[in-house]
């Protein structure tokens, strides 16, 4: 007999910057070929009519993490600062029995080593390193 946790669906949330929703093969784009994303989208739930709370990546990601609008969590631009977040999406999922994992850029999370509810984190902060080198007056979260 399977436990309740084993009956739950896996959740894979992909969040990319500067990626229009119609730039996927599964959306019928004439030129762009995205076979792997198409396969993932075809076998799960795809939110094809969603809008971001903010067109700027830092507040948009913070909104997704917290479930709050930018005017509530306080970030409306590219600033990255510490914050006292409410229950985050990964923390809520973890409490429900999921194992949460962040893979990718964590530059929008500050301080850098704060987990925000993720059980595991593998980050690629090459962009933050490049930005610190090229634009040293900008504070990068590392």
Q: Please list the active-site residues.
A: 57, 108
Residue 104 φ/ψ, nearest 5 degrees: 125, -155
Distances in Å between the alpha carbon of 54 and those of 46, 59, 60, 91, 139? 20, 6, 5, 22, 21
């Amino acid at each position: 007999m399977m436990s309740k946790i084993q009956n739950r669906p896996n959740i894979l949330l992909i969040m990319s910057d500067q990626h229009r929703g119609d730039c996927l093969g599964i959306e019928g784009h004439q030129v762009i070929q995205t076979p792997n994303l198409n396969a993932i989208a075809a076998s799960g739930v795809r939110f094809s009519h969603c809008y971001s709370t903010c067109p700027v990546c830092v507040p948009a990601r913070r909104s997704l993490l917290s479930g709050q609008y930018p005017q509530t969590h306080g970030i409306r631009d590219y600033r990255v600062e510490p914050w006292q977040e409410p229950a985050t999406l990964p923390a809520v999922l973890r409490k429900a029995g999921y194992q949460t994992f962040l893979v990718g850029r964590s530059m929008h999370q500050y301080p850098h080593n704060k987990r925000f509810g993720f059980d595991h984190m593998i980050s690629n902060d090459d962009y933050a390193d490049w930005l610190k080198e090229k634009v040293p007056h900008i504070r990068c979260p590392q």
